[in-house]
Structure 1
Amino acid sequence: MNCFAHAAIAVALTTAIATPAFAQAKLKVGFMLPATGTYAQLGTAIDNGFRLYVAEQGGKIAGREVEYVRVDDESDPAKATDNVNKLIKRDNVDVLIGTVHSGVAMAMAKAAKESGTLLIVPNAGSDPITGPMCAPNIFRSSFSNWQPGYAMGEVMAKRGLKKVVTITWKYAAGDESVKAFKEAFEKNGGNVVKELSLPFPNVEFQALLTEIAATKPDAVYTFFAGAGAVKFVKDYASAGLKKNIPLYGAGFLTDGTLEAQGADADGLMTTLHYADGLNTPRDNAFRLAYAKAYKLQPDVYAIQGYDAAQMLGIGLTATKGDAKNAAVFAEALRKARIDSPRGTFTLSRAHNPVQDIYLRQVSAKENKLTSVAAKALADPGRGCRM
């Protein structure tokens, strides 16, 4: 081989080393979100929010064009492991985005932790994901179930309510929300006199509403979301309970559901990390852009999808596009102040948002801000050993 051939090989090798493959390859984003069933609308809003941020960046994240791979998780924990492994092992995605249902998200977190795949959870608040299951490659752009529940427990106790009934679906999100509410409410002098539940996604509420009427509590705290929240609010009003027993809840009760709930939702008070009418420049710009893109008003689910993409951008910019460098990705996000439409937030050591929780009241089909229920509320991250 002559010297020119040696020189050509040397140049080729140098170029290959200096220009890593990730600089050219598309970023494969695996969306595991509900496209059917109770939570389908929520999955669509998350997808919309994520895509809006990517569109604002010219269709790229950290210089990489984005390719989307989708799996409908059907909000079914029994199918979750197979579904997430399709994305990781069959489709070789660089990052997982999902999901809504806490039980499904737990399976995603387990698979992500075992495989080292980046996971950003854009909704499911399952406490263990940023508790005992925490990992350097697992992040949340939404909330823990503890946060809105705990904030509402403090709010209701400060309002002088003493005797409360709770009602929810019997699954991780409902159980954890009620547990957090009870922790704060009873610490501040209240008493949860009865805890009612029914299997997810059952919406036959009548027997439990009769039990509430017979118990005559000062108020009711609830966790429902999606289509189930619509039916619960309407059934609660139809049973005549709304007039005499105030209904409070985690904000998912009235987020993305107000159009269908109509006048039956008027006056309901909820706690969440977003509210309509924050009227900040950042939120106003986001709402306008979302409405132009989708001919819809955004809700908290759209915000969480948007911020999942923001977080992915921050982390990948730090790693120069390398989705496998979890240590640098995590360090960048731990140092970041994420400029969200909900208000700026940071991440806890367990990678859960440290954020304001707002008290909202339904009026004219909006979740209108009444006050900040808890400032920069950090989930305790119990059991996280990271």
Structure 2
Amino acid sequence: MTTRRVVLVRSAAVVGAASTGLLLPQIARAQSSRIRVGFMLPYTGAYAPLGVAIENGVRMALNEKGGKLGGREIDWFKLDDESEPSKGVENASRLVQRDKVDVLIGTVHSGVQMGIQKVVREAGVLNIIPNAGVHAATRALCAPNVFRTSFTNSQPTLALGKPMMDKGLKRAAWITWKYAAGDEAFEGFRDSYTKAGGTIVKELGLPFPNVEFQALLTEIASLKPDAVACFFAGPPAAKFMRDYAAAGLKDKIQLWGSGFLTEGVLDAAGPAAEGVMTTMHYSDSLDTPRNRQFRLDYAKTFRLQPDVYAVQGYDSGLLLALGMAAVKGDFANRQALYKAMETAAIDSPRGKWTMSKSHNPIQDIYLRRVENKENKVIGIAAKALADSGAGCKMA
């Protein structure tokens, strides 16, 4: 493979005489038969495992397609976004203007995605979002060249309301961090639970990333709701479940949440997670031939067990490969490329899904219960669930 340094030198030689930065990517691409794919993901810090899983998934999907896109070789570029929103615009600009990528795959952190969104909307570079669930990306700030393969922050919780009411849980308290992702997750819960006839007795919150839950757990105990619904993720989610059990609430008030509550933290949560109910667009335990084969192949390739982030990366690769195959590698045919991606039916380990008009997955959301340190699928909480795409106006 051509080295990154050689690629950059050649690009600089080709575009050295260009008079405007906006022309650089177009001129460079016209001279190359190779597709330039850039990863803007976290490779350090708490989210580093997510970035690695996403990249692994993308590469695995494209390797299954012969390691090419529409018959064209791929040059890869990587940039650590550090999960730092203040560097989002600068880092995305490096990939777009310096590395002249055709495709930018990123990112995990919603705050960083807002920086990417600004850059790719202005430059017209294809962006595939493999995780960040911020609503604006496929709502008010949607764009023809921006596609998401994961979820919106409200999508998992939009499936919570009906199964909770089906269990006769008519009064619920909500708890999360008070920040954008928490607010958007609450939107999904509020809309689905009240529509199903439930009553939210209290909305509780604490500053992100505070993990001092005790005062709010005491308040929950005094409210005596039928259930608690929440949005937490990562190590703090494990602590919340442990604290919830330690407060004596586990066996009295059933705990429900967005699937990120129990994703990747079951060992850390221990017995406190047993019986917790969540809704999510994937589960390791999804018992289908497609998922079993994917998990086997991923484990053989990377010596790791895949998670939801690996699946989202894998589906990003599938979506890109499908689009490039449809235009036979003619990346300049953007209208046909985007049309193919918009109308794609992705045969994913999570189950088949399609793309909404605002470029967000229309997908099944599974009902899961923690049993013996496993998120066991016990049903489908919502079939072919779509985000509203509110405010999306494609240019």
- TM-score, structure 1 normalization: 0.89
Of residues 48, 53, 57, the one that matches 1:45 is 53
Of residues 187, 202, 227, the one that matches 1:179 is 187
The answer to whether 1:155 aligns with 2:142 is: no
Tell me the residue number matched to 2:310.
302
* Worse overlay, 253-262 or 174-183: 253-262
Of residues 72, 78, 82, the one that matches 1:64 is 72
* Worse overlay, 117-126 or 199-208: 199-208
CA deviations over 1:45-74 (Å, ceiling 9, x no partner): 212211211222233222233333222223
Gaps (5+ residues) in structure 2? Answer: 1-27
- Over 3 Å counting, the alpha-carbon distance change for 1:286 and 1:79 in structure 2 is same
Tell me the residue number matched to 1:11.
none
Tell me the residue number matched to 2:98.
90
Tell me the residue number matched to 2:217.
209
* Worse overlay, 74-83 or 373-382: 74-83
Tell me the residue number matched to 1:110.
118
* Shift, 1:133, TM fit: 1.2
- Over 3 Å counting, the alpha-carbon distance change for 1:294 and 1:260 in structure 2 is farther
Q: Matched residue of 1:373: which SS?
A: strand
CA deviations over 1:228-282 (Å, ceiling 9, x no partner): 2222222222332212121111111112222322222111111111123322221
C-alpha distance in structure 2 between counterparts of 1:48 and 1:357, whole Å = 24
Of residues 332, 345, 355, the one that matches 2:340 is 332
C-alpha distance in structure 2 between counterparts of 1:33 and 1:137, whole Å = 19
Tell me the residue number matched to 1:241.
249
CA deviations over 1:4-59 (Å, ceiling 9, x no partner): xxxxxxxxxxxxxxxx9679543222212222333222222212211211222233
Would the aligned equivalents of 1:344 and 1:355 in 2 still touch at CA under 8 Å?
A: yes
- Over 3 Å counting, the alpha-carbon distance change for 1:385 and 1:263 in structure 2 is same
The answer to whether 1:228 aligns with 2:232 is: no
* Shift, 1:145, TM fit: 1.8
* Shift, 1:323, TM fit: 3.9
Matched residue count? 367
Between the aligned residues of both structures, percent identity stands at 57
C-alpha distance in structure 2 between counterparts of 1:37 and 1:197, whole Å = 25
Tell me the residue number matched to 1:10.
none
Gaps (5+ residues) in structure 1? Answer: 1-19
Q: Matched residue of 1:61: which SS?
A: coil
C-alpha distance in structure 2 between counterparts of 1:361 and 1:23, whole Å = 53
Tell me the residue number matched to 2:4.
none
* Worse overlay, 247-256 or 55-64: 55-64
Of residues 205, 212, 223, the one that matches 1:197 is 205
Would the aligned equivalents of 1:39 and 1:226 in 2 still touch at CA under 8 Å?
A: no
Tell me the residue number matched to 1:250.
258
C-alpha distance in structure 1 between counterparts of 2:82 and 2:166, whole Å = 39
- TM-score, structure 2 normalization: 0.87
Tell me the residue number matched to 2:352.
344
Tell me the residue number matched to 1:378.
386
* Shift, 1:324, TM fit: 4.6
C-alpha distance in structure 2 between counterparts of 1:96 and 1:225, whole Å = 26
Runs (4+) of structure 1 exceeding 6 A deviation are 20-23
* Worse overlay, 304-313 or 31-40: 31-40
Tell me the residue number matched to 1:146.
154
C-alpha distance in structure 1 between counterparts of 2:271 and 2:149, whole Å = 31
Q: Calculate the aligned-residue CA RMSD, in Å.
A: 2.0
* Shift, 1:333, TM fit: 1.6
* Worse overlay, 205-214 or 335-344: 205-214
- Over 3 Å counting, the alpha-carbon distance change for 1:164 and 1:93 in structure 2 is same
